[in-house]
Chains A and B, each alone.
Chain A
Amino acid sequence: MRSLQCLLSMTRARINSRRSWSGILIRGCLSALMILWAPSPPAMADDRLVFFESKIRPIFERACNECHSGDEAKGGLRLTDRLGWQDAGVIQIARPESSLLVELLRSTDDDVRMPPPDSGRSVTENEIRDIEQWIRDGAADPRMAKEASFAGVGPKRRNRVFEITPEDEAYWAFQPLQPPRFAESELKLTASEKIDELLRRQWKELPGVDLAPLATSRELARRASFDLWGLPPDLEIIDRLERDPSLKTWQEWIDSLLRSHRYGERWGRHWLDWVRFAETNGYERDGPKPHAWRYRDYVIDSFANDKPYDRFIIEQLAGDEWAEQQGWSAVNDPDRWKESLIATGFYRLHLWDDEPDDSEAATMDEADDVMVSIGSAFLGLTIGCARCHDHKFDPIRQKDYYSMLSFLRGVDPYGLTKKGGGGRGTGRIQRFLVSESESAAWEQDRQTKIDALQQRLEGETDPAVRLGIDGQIKTLRDSVPPFEAALSVAEIGQTIAPTFVLHRGDVHSPREAVDPEFPIILQKQMDAPEFGGALQHSSGRRLQFAKWIASRENPLTARVAVNRIWKGHFGVGIVPTPDDFGQTGIPPSNLPLLDFLAAELIDSGWSLHHIHRIILSSHAYRMSSHVLNAKAETADPEARLFWRQNLRRLDAEAIRDSILLMAGNLGDKRSGPSVFPTLTQEVRDSANPVSLSQWLDSPPEQQNCRSVYLVVKRSLKVPLLESLDFANSSSPTATRPTTTTAPQALMLLNDPWVHSQADLLFERLRREAGDDPSARIQRLWRIVYQRPATNEEELICLKFLRSQPIPENEANIPQDDLTYKVGAWQSLCRAVVNSNEAIYID
C-alpha cells in the first residue's frame, strides 16, 4: 500500500500540465497493486453497478468521453471502459482523496482542471461528489474494453498470425501445479490448517486483516448441511456441536454427511449443471432421451461413493473403450461394465434438432456442443471459440479445435444424417445392458415365434383367425426387449473418416485434414498418453483423449475440479469463473491455494471427499459471515480473498427439498425414472401442446422426491425450480445467477404446492407440539430455523395469529382461541418458510 502512496505523490508532482502526465510509470507499480486488488473487477455489488449506470456513466459520456476514448485518447487516459482508467492509474479504489481523477476534477488551476474550461464542458460539484462516492464504494464499472491495452489486466486480443508467445507459455493455467512451500515450522500443520495459512499469507502486508472468527454451531451446522446435502441439519447435531465444539466431533459429522447418498444427490446435481444435463432433446418436438435418468443415477452414485475423479472422467468420455480394455463385459464383471456404458450417456445429453435445416451442419453443431461442454466441464477452457478461427484470446488454434474434435469423430451421431433436412431417425443412442449373445438369443426367439405364426397364417383361411394371428405377429414385432437399456455412446467402427479444419466453421468448406492431437500449448506442458490402438467396436481414440484429461500432468483438470468444490463451499471460486480459466476469465485470487488443493486431490487418489473434508475443517470455511472488520471491509469489500464467509441464498433444489423436509414429507426415492410433478392449470393453459402431451403426472405419492429426481424437460421446466434460477440445461452452467424477483415471491406465497406443504407443516406442529400456541411456535422455529424463537418473535407470531381474520369455513370456532385458527396457522407456516432466514445460509 505504501508504494501506492509514493506513486501518487510522484504522480502529483508530474502534473504541471494536464496533458503531460504519463501513465507509464504508474503501470509498473500498478501491477503490484493488482496482485492484491485485481482478481479483476473489484467490488461489484449490484447496487453499486446501478449507481454507476445512473450517476457515473452519464457524467463520463457527457463530459469526458469525447476526448478520452479510443487509441488516441487524450493524455493516454480512456474513460470509456474500466481498463482505461485502470491502466492510467487515475483512480485509487476506495480512496477518492488519493485519486488523481478527483484531483483533476477539483483543481482550481485552469491548466490542470478537467474538463478543460475551453471545452465548454463542465461537471458540477454534485457530480464530483458522486464520483467520489463511486470511488469510495469500490469504483464498480462493468464496461469492458473492446481490446485491452495492457497485458496482464483483462483479455488481450491475440495477433492475427498465430504463434505461441512467451506470455502464453508463462500463463498460470498452463503451468504445471506448483504447490506452495511450507516452512519447517509449518510442516506439522494439517491440510486444513495449511489452507488457512495460505489465505493468511495474502494479508501479511495488511495488519488488521485476518480470517474472521468462527461462526456459531448453528450457523456451521446449517452451512455444512446445506452445502453437502442441500437440506437443513437436524437439531441433534447442533446440540452435539454446542456441547462439544472440538474439531474431532465436527470432522466425524462431516464424514458422516459425505458418506451419505444425500451428498451424492446434492453434488451430483451440481455436476448435472456443468454438463447441461436434460432428459429431452429440445426444439420443436422436444422428444425424450431414453433412459437419461440412468446417467443421473450414475452421477449421484459416483459422488456418493467417492469414485476417483480421474476414473469418473474416463468413464464418461470413454467408458465403453475403457471397459473393453479392462476386459469387463456383461459376463465378466457386469456391474463395472454397465456403469462404464451408462457413463457415456454424457455424449447424448446435447440439444438435438430432429428437423434441422441442414443435417450435416446440425451434426457438426452437435459435435461442437459436446466439445464445448468437455472444455467447460473438465478443462475450464472456452474451446468452442476456436471453431471458426484461432481463439482470439487464448493460445488455441483453430487447428487445435479440429484436432481435438477428431478424437470424438468416431461417435455415431445422435440422428441419422439425411441431406436436405428432416433427419428424424435416431442413431444408435442406446444399448441393452446385457451381453450380445443374450440379446441375440431373445431376438432369435422372437423371430422363431414370428416364423411359426407366419406358417400358421399360410395354412389358415378363416379371416377371424387370420386377424388374430396377424395381431399376435404385430405384438411380437412391436415388443420391446425386456432388458435394461442405457443412453450411451456408440462408435461408427474401428476406423474414422478424416476430420477437416472447416473454413469459418462451415461444414461445407473443408480445408486441411487433421489427426487427433492435443492443443499445442498443452503439448509443451505434458506428454500425451499412449494411444492404445483400435478396439473391437471403436477407434480407441476417446480413451486416449480421456486419459489425457484425467492425467495428473494435465495442468487444468485438477485445478478446475477443486475450484468448483471451493465455490460450492464459499459461493465464489478461487477462480471466480469456474468454466473459464483462460484469458477471458478472471485469474485466481490465490494461486498457491488453488495449486495446493489440486495437488491434494491428485495425491489423495483423486478423492473429491478428501477435498471437501480438508476445506470444511479449515478455519476459513467455519468463519462467520457477519463480522465487523473495517480494515478488511475497505480492502476487500466483496471478500474475494476470503477473509469472511459469504451469505448465500439456497438454490432452487435446496429450497424445495427443505420445504419437503420441514413438512415431514420428504420421500425416499433414491434412483429410477424421473418424476413428473403435477402442473397447475395455469401452467398447462399456456404450455406448448407437444410438451404437455409428453408430461404425464406421476402418482402424487411419488411427487415428494428430492428435486434431483424431477424430470428436466427442456421446453417445460418445473415452474417452481425455474423461477428460482434452475440451471438453463442447454449450455453448461458453471454459476447459476441468483435473482430476486417479484414472481419468485408470488410463487412462494401462492403456489398450490407451497400451500400443501405448509399445511403439512402445520399438521406436523399440531402432532409434535399439541395445542399450546407457544409450544407450536417454538417447534416451528426449531424445524425451520433450528433455534428457539425469541420472546419478541413469539409475540409477533401471536399478534399475527390474533389479527388474521377467520375465513368463512372456520366461522364456527371460538374467535379468541388461537389453537383452532387453522387458516392463520397455515399462513404462519408459509410466512416462516418464506422468510429470509429460512432461505439464506450465513
Chain B
Amino acid sequence: MNPYDHQRNSRRHFCTQAGAGFGSLALASLLEKDGIAAGPIGFDETGASGPMASKAPMIPTQAKSIIFLFMFGGPSQVDLFDYKPELQSRDGQSIENEFRRGTKTKAVLQASRRKFTQHGESGLWCSDAFPHLSKHMDKMAMIHSLTSDSFAHGSALLQVNCGRILQGHPSIGSWVTYGLGSENQNLPGYVVMLDPRGGPTSGSPNWSSGYMPAAYQGTLIRTSNQPILNLQPAAGITRDMQRREIDLIQSLNVQHVQQQKQTSELEARIASYELAFQLQMAAPEALDLASETEDTLQMYGIHEPKPDWHPMALGPSTFGRQCLIARRMVERGVRFIQIYSGGGNAGGQNTWDGHHGIEENLQLHCPEVDRPIAALLQDLQQRGLLDSTLVVWGGEFGRMPVSETFNTGGKPGGRDHNPKGFTYWLAGAGVKGGTRYGATDEIGENAVENPRHLRDLHATILKLMGLDHRRLTYFHGGLDEKLTGVLDAQPIDEIIA
C-alpha cells in the first residue's frame, strides 16, 4: 500500500473523482458518433479507474461505509454517557483541576443535572439528554477512556480528523478513500456535511487531503441549494444547453486527442466532463428526499419546527436531513461521510462548547441530534445496512467535571475542555454492540482504566474498515507517513466483534 509515485514525481493523477466507468462508455459512444473507431482508450473494461476506484480491503471486513458524527465543540461525557455517581454526590466540592496543560487551579465540582439510567440488555448508561438514542445502547461500543494531546479546539480537531495536532496532514476520510476508493464513481467518495451555523474551527484543513492528491479531499455537500460547488448551470442555462456545450467541448477534444500520442490524461479529462454531467443528476438524486416515506421523514425529525425558545436552536430537522442523506449515500456506495453538529466560532453556544452553561448547551444540541441518530441506527438496521456501515460518534475532546465560572457571568454552569478522558461510541459494521471499554476516574476527569490515545481509536476505525494502520502508508518528505503517526498504535480489539 504505497503508491510510490503519488509523491515523487510528476506523473499525473487521473483523479476522475467521479470515476470512469461511465466516462469510458460515454466517450466510446462519442467517438463512434463522430465516426471514429473507438480504440484503446485508457480505461480497463472492468470500469472504474483512477484513485477513487474501489480497492480490496487489507483485512477481511463487512464494513463498506463509515458515517462519522462529529459533535464539534466537545460534548460533555459526564452529562451524556459517562455516569459518575461520585461526581453526583460531590457537587460543589472544591478540587485542584488541571484545566490547561500544566496549569492548575482550584475549581468546584459540578454534578450533572441529568438523570442517568441503564439501558437495554447491556445496561449501558445514558442520560435523559438522549431519550431516543438511549434505546439503541445495545448497538454501541462505548469507549470511555480516550485521551488526546490538545486542550485547544483548533489543534484538537486536527488531531481527531488528521491524526496530528499540526496542520497539513491528510484527514481520516482521505486515508480511508486512499486505501479503499469508493463504490460509487458518480458521487464523491468522501463527503462532509456542515452545520448551517458554520464550519468547524480551522475549516477545510479538517477534511483536507494534506500532501495526498486533491482527489482524496473531502467534498462539502450542502443540503440546500447547490449541494456541490458550481454543480448546476448558471441561471438561464438549461440542462439541455449544458449538454450541448459539453458536446461541443468533447468534439473539440476528440479532434485534439487524435493528434496526440500521450493521450491517457486527455482522455481522463474528456471523461471528467461526462462525469460532471452525470454528477449533476446523481448528486441531487442522492439528496432528494421525495422518495422517502412520511414515516421515515418523521422518524428522523425532519418535519420538526425550529424551536423558538432560543435564537440558536435548530431542532432535529437539519441534522435529521443530513443523517437521512448519509443513509442514502451509504446505499449508493459513498465510502466516507462526516456530519458536523455545531458550527461557527467555538466558544459560543452555537457549538457543543459549553463554557457558558452546560445545561443550556445540552438543551440546545441534544435534541438536534438525538432523534436523527436514533433514526439513523434504526433505519440502517432495518435495511440491513448496519452490518456494513460503521457509525462513529464523538467530538474533539470531552469536558471537565468542574464548573467553569469565569466566563458565565459568575453563574455556575459551564464546563471547560477536557482531552484527558473522554467518550466515543462506535456502532455497526464489526463493532461488538453493548460493550463498555475503559473508564475515567471517579469524577470523570482522567482516563484511568485502559486509557487509550486517539491514535488507537484511529487504528480501530481503520481496522473495522479493513485497513491496517501500519500498512496504510503514504510516502511524503522521505517518510512512509501514517494516519497514526510514528508512535505505535493498537486497535482496541475489545470492542471488535
Max count, chain A CB within 10 A of own CB: residue among B43, B205, B222, B228: B205
Residue of A nearest to B200 (CB): A688
Within 8 A of B (CB), among A45-92: 45-47, 49-51, 53-55, 58, 82
B299-317: which have CB < 8 Å to A? none
A685 at the binding interface (Cβ < 8 Å): yes
Residues on the B chain within 8 Å of A355, using CB = 152, 154-155
Q: Are B200 and A741 in contact (CB under 8 A)?
A: no
Identify which of B9, B201, B265 contacts A735 (C-beta below 8 A): B9
Is B166 among interface residues, defined by CB-CB distance under 8 A?
yes
Provide the residues of chain A in CB contact with B265, threshold 8 Å.
647, 649, 738, 740, 840
Chain A residues with CB under 8 Å of B232's CB are 750
Partner of B228, one of A743, A800, A840: A743
Least CB distance from A696 to B in Å reads 17
Interface hits, A698-720 → B, CB 8 Å = 714-717, 719
Supposing A353-B154, A739-B13 touch, asked if A688 and B226 sit within 8 A by C-beta, the answer is: no
User: Is there contact, CB below 8 Å, between B17 and A741?
Assistant: yes
B362 CB to nearest chain A CB (Å): 23
Given A283-B155, A740-B14: A385 and B205 within 8 A (CB)? no
Asked if A143 is at the interface of the complex by the 8 Å CB criterion, the answer is: yes
Chain B residues lying within 8 Å of A436, measured Cβ to Cβ, are: none
Q: In the bound complex, do residue A358 and residue B205 qualify as a contact, i.e. CB atoms below 8 Å apart?
A: no
A830 to B56, CA, bound (A): 40
Task: Say yes or no: is A519 at the interface (Cβ < 8 Å to chain B).
Answer: no
CB distance from A779 to the nearest CB of B (A): 16
Q: Is the CB of A741 within 8 A of B49?
A: no
Docked-complex contact A749 and B245, CB < 8 angstroms: yes
**A737 engages B13 (CB within 8 Å):** yes
Interface mask (B267-290 → A, CB under 8 Å = 1, otherwise 0): 011101101101110000000000
CA distance A584 to B7 in the complex (A): 11
A361 CB, min distance to chain B CBs, angstroms = 9
Interface pair A752/B248, CB less than 8 Å apart = no
In the bound assembly, the distance between CA atoms of A577 and B475 in angstroms comes to 12
How distant is the Cα of A41 from the Cα of B166 in the complex, in angstroms? Answer: 32
The segment out of A246-254, A415-423, A523-531 that lies at the interface is A415-423
A689 touches B241 (CB 8 A): no
Whether B261 lies near A626 (C-beta < 8 A) is: yes
Q: Is A44 an interface residue (CB 8 A)?
A: yes
How far, in angstroms, from A717 to B204 measured CA to CA in the complex?
9
Stretch of B109-117, B251-259, B364-372, B408-416 at the chain-chain interface:
B251-259
Name which residue of chain A comes closest to B270, CB basis: A836
Give the contact stretch, choosing among A194-202, A314-322, A485-493, A801-809.
Answer: A801-809
Q: Give the chain B neighbours of A752 by CB distance below 8 A.
A: 234
Q: Is the CB of A385 within 8 A of B478?
A: yes
Among B82-90, B95-103, B445-453, the stretch that binds chain A is: B95-103
Max chain B Cβ within 10 angstroms of own Cβ: one of A750, A803, A808, A837: A750
B213 at the interface (CB under 8 A from A): yes
Mark B161-201 against chain A: 1 for CB-CB distance below 8 A, else 0: 00001111000000000000000000010000010001111
| Cα–Cα distance between A567 and B10 once the two chains are bound (Å) | 9
B345 interfacial by beta-carbon distance below 8 Å: yes
Q: B203-261: which have CB < 8 Å to A?
A: 203-205, 208, 210-211, 213-215, 219-220, 222, 225-226, 228-234, 236-238, 240-242, 244-249, 251-253, 255-257, 259-261
Asked, given contacts A728-B211, A752-B234, A809-B236, whether A388 binds B4 with beta carbons under 8 Å apart, the answer is no
A807 to B259, CA, bound (A): 36
Given A382-B477, A731-B168, A740-B12: A46 and B155 interface contact (C-beta under 8 Å): no
Is the beta-carbon distance between B264 and A682 smaller than 8 angstroms?
no
Check if B55 sits within 8 Å of A53, measured CB to CB. Answer: yes
Q: Mark A374-413, 1 if CB is under 8 A from B, else 0.
A: 0010000010110010010110000000000000000000
A831 CB contact (under 8 Å) in B201, B249, B264, B344: B249
Other-chain residue from A44, A55, A351, A740 in contact with B11 (beta carbon distance below 8 A): A44
Cross-interface CB contact of A284 among B44, B152, B246, cutoff 8 Å: B152
| Cross-chain contact B261 with A627 (CB below 8 angstroms) | yes
Task: Give chain B residues whose Cβ lies under 8 Å from the Cβ of A742.
Answer: 16-18, 272-273, 275-276, 278-279
Question: Is B493 located at the chain interface by the 8 A CB criterion?
Answer: no
Known contacts A50-B53, A385-B479; is-contact A749 B242 (Cβ 8 Å): yes
- Residues 4-44 of chain B, each 1 if its beta carbon lies under 8 Å from chain A, else 0: 11111111111111100000000000000000000000111
Are B230 and A46 in contact, with the CB atoms below 8 A?
no
Q: Cβ of B268: which chain A residues have Cβ within 8 Å of it?
A: 46, 740
Is A598 an interface residue when CB atoms closer than 8 A count as contact? Answer: no
- Tell me whether B167 and A714 are in contact (CB under 8 A): yes
Nearest opposing residue in chain B for A577, CB measure: B8
CA distance A800 to B222 in the complex (A): 34
A256 close to B (CB within 8 Å):
no
Q: A685-B222, A835-B252 in contact; A741/B242 too (CB < 8 A)? A: no
Q: Is B418 interfacial (CB-CB < 8 Å)?
A: no
Q: Does A625 contact B (CB under 8 A)?
A: yes
Q: How large is the interface on A (under 10, 10 to 19, 20 to 34, 35 or more residues)?
A: 35 or more
User: Which of chain B's residues have a CB closer than 8 A to the CB of A422?
Assistant: 100
A286–B214 CB distance below 8 A: no
B264's partner among A47, A58, A571, A803 (CB-CB below 8 A) is A47
B3 at the A interface (CB under 8 A): yes
Residues of A within 8 A of B247 (CB): 800
Whether A50 and B18, one on each chain, are in contact in the complex, defined by CB atoms closer than 8 angstroms, is no
B497 within 8 A of A: no
Do the beta carbons of B252 and A793 come within 8 Å of each other?
Answer: yes
**B13 contacts across to A, CB distance below 8 A:** 46, 737-740
Contacts of A804 in B (CB 8 A): 241, 244-245
Is there an interface contact between B166 and A365, defined as CB atoms closer than 8 Å? yes
Q: Tell whether A740 pairs with B15 under 8 Å between CB atoms, given A376-B477, A626-B261, A715-B204.
A: yes
**From B10, B15, B255, contact of A571 by CB (8 A):** B10
Query: Do A625 and B12 touch (CB < 8 A)?
Result: no
In the complex, the chain A residue whose C-beta lies closest to that of B252 is A835
Complex alpha-carbon distance, A44 and B16, angstroms: 17
Q: Which of A394, A689, A755, A831 contacts B248 (CB 8 A)?
A: A831
Judge if A257 is at the interface, Cβ distance under 8 Å.
no
Given contacts A283-B202, A625-B262, A351 and B46 within 8 Å (CB-CB): no
Known contacts being A716-B203, A741-B16, is A835 close to B256, with CB within 8 Å?
Answer: yes
User: In whole angstroms, how far apart are the Cα atoms of A54 and B47 in the complex?
Assistant: 10
- B residues contacting A by CB (< 8 A) are 1-18, 42-44, 46, 48-51, 53, 55-56, 100-103, 149-155, 158, 165-168, 188, 194, 198-205, 208, 210-211, 213-215, 219-220, 222, 225-226, 228-234, 236-238, 240-242, 244-249, 251-253, 255-257, 259-262, 264-266, 268-270, 272-273, 275-276, 278-280, 344-346, 475, 477-480, 486
User: Can you list 27 pairs linking A and B with CB atoms under 8 Å apart?
Assistant: A46-B13, A46-B14, A49-B3, A143-B2, A282-B168, A382-B477, A420-B101, A580-B478, A585-B8, A625-B262, A626-B259, A680-B229, A689-B344, A730-B167, A731-B168, A741-B215, A742-B16, A742-B275, A746-B228, A746-B230, A746-B276, A750-B233, A751-B230, A807-B236, A835-B253, A836-B253, A840-B266
Query: Which are the 3 A-B pairs with shortest beta-carbon distances?
Result: A382-B478, A284-B154, A730-B168
Q: A580-B8, A649-B265, A728-B208 are in contact. List 11 more A-B contacts (CB 8 A).
A: A46-B49, A285-B154, A353-B155, A358-B102, A585-B478, A689-B344, A731-B477, A738-B12, A738-B13, A739-B213, A743-B17
Using a CB–CB cutoff of 8 Å, the interface residues on chain A facing chain B are 41, 44-47, 49-51, 53-55, 58, 82, 142-144, 282-286, 351, 353, 355-358, 365, 372, 376, 382, 384-385, 388, 391, 393-394, 419-422, 567, 571-573, 576-577, 579-580, 582, 584-586, 625-628, 638, 646-647, 649, 680, 682-683, 685-691, 714-717, 719, 722-723, 725, 728, 730-731, 735, 737-747, 749-752, 755, 792-793, 796-797, 800, 803-805, 807-809, 823, 827-828, 830-832, 834-837, 839-840, 842
